[in-house]
Structure 1
């Protein structure tokens, strides 16, 4: 059950997402962006959404393999519905979906909570590895474009902000940061002292779930398939609007990496951060920022709607089964 502190934290995160969304769209011609969205070829948007759905199916199959490796004979459909409900929960509370889908498996398959959490940790470790590998390949293959963005958009802005702060505020910021780090270390240690055994068991089961796999190559194939269909969804959505219809797989790959880092941000559904990052990725390929925003809005809205529809259907299934 959420307490007032947690509610305030999530409200702040949501407000940050809305703020970034406002920042991304401020100064843009909203009428032209809306005109592009209205004139989009939504058949390609549907194809893009189907590609995302296939990635969800592969994620459920991959997760089921981890359960089977630690001797929990779960069904595909319960695993699939848990994954979809997890995505639905993430739209409300960031990172709550991981706990949510574990709760579904507890109710539907009687799998202990920390056994599920262990498998989720393993799954997420592979996703992090794929994200870092994708980012490395992006830098390796398109270094000139991406390095220019990192220098001009990130490094220069950060340095300019630092230089604009006087010494008093700099010292105050450092003291505040150190205080927050010290407080975080204290509370983490307290939490570990109380829950160390359960955390340890969950982590151990998580790592064991992969090491006990009989068919690791299939698990890796599912992982590659998940990321391929995410990549494909970005590419298919290019054809939805005229100005991005000629972009290739290399642009889709860059947009995928940028959007993946955006989704790591602790904001509900990546709102705001996703739009800004995807639009910035397309700017590297001479796509105007406003057109990139139109593309990002179409893509994010289609995935949001897909999650709502599939999530509600999965909730109905789980509740009716109960």
Structure 2
């Protein structure tokens, strides 16, 4: 019951954050030019974006499989792909809860322990956050004069939810909680109670998988897959630019800037990046002295197509998972 309440609270906070940023983005903006721009979207590039999105999911599945194999498990690629699609499908509606779903679904179809897959997911996210951080740093370093106000605007938007004084409390609270966790973990390890031992074993297995995923034996394959994923993400954003008449003439390098600045919005705890990405993309267009209406149109189109594409492709993953589990249940009964 407690975990369910916690999930509801997390989802509510995510929706609140997204709603506030969406309000700040669309407040006092004329929407007629935006709808006209969206109505003139190029359907060829819209369809092409869905193909690109599926390729990204497939590459992510191959990379996740590689990380899981570092722990000695050998799941089949199609099963891993199904769990990845299912996880992103759930992430479209909840802030990051899909990571748990893809691990539990993989356990059901391949018997890979949740602790192992969860550790590999943590390693995967650590690498992606590293690349995102480096990319954001590089973009701000190159375009500092233009982008300096974006973070101030983002912090200002968050302050509407929490207030400035709470922003300084958050990192301190995280540090204190982490220290308390380490202290309590030492004491928990000495416990002889069976449920506590199970929890400790799970955490130890998860952190071992995380460690193995970070050390990486198949570094070359992992680096190639990671570079392909991030390259395809840039291509996806460039395709989104080609969808709209107002942005079709923008450069490929601008798509790189969009990826990393918009990526900050996806990293924030809002379901599907709704609101947060719209806000940051508008600030980006303003920083580059581009048409703000085009920025709003692009934000709605790119986020909307990503959401729809994830729902459609993720729905296919859900169907695959449903058929696979039904087959396993029939085999167990036979």
TM norm. shorter chain > 0.5: yes
For the residues of structure 1 that align with 2:79 and 2:110, how far apart are their CA atoms?
8
Instruction: Indicate the residue corresponding to 1:242 in structure 2.
Output: 245
| Alignment pair present for 1:317 and 2:309 | no
- Whether contact under 8 Å (1:251, 1:285) holds in the other structure is no
Question: In angstroms, what is the RMSD of aligned CA positions?
Answer: 2.9
Residues 109-188 of structure 1 correspond to what in structure 2 (within 5 A)? Answer: 109-147=110-148, 149-150=150-151, 153=153, 184=177, 188=181
| Alignment pair present for 1:200 and 2:204 | yes
Change (3 A) 1:123 1:186: closer
For the residues of structure 1 that align with 2:278 and 2:37, how far apart are their CA atoms?
15
Instruction: Indicate the residue corresponding to 2:306 in structure 1.
Output: 303
For the residues of structure 2 that align with 1:115 and 1:204, how far apart are their CA atoms?
8
Change (3 A) 1:46 1:280: farther
- Whether contact under 8 Å (1:63, 1:119) holds in the other structure is yes
Change (3 A) 1:190 1:9: farther
Instruction: Indicate the residue corresponding to 2:109 in structure 1.
Output: 108
- Whether contact under 8 Å (2:37, 2:246) holds in the other structure is no
Instruction: Indicate the residue corresponding to 2:287 in structure 1.
Output: 284
TM-score normalised by length of structure 1: 0.86
TM-score normalised by length of structure 2: 0.83
Instruction: Indicate the residue corresponding to 1:218 in structure 2.
Output: 221
For the residues of structure 2 that align with 1:258 and 1:99, how far apart are their CA atoms?
26
Cα deviation for residue 138 of structure 1 reads 1.0
Could you list the runs of 5+ residues in structure 1 that have no partner in the other structure? none
Could you list the runs of 5+ residues in structure 2 that have no partner in the other structure? 189-195, 326-334
Residues 9-158 of structure 1 correspond to what in structure 2 (within 5 A)? Answer: 9-147=10-148, 149-150=150-151, 153=153
Q: How many correspondences in the alignment? A: 310
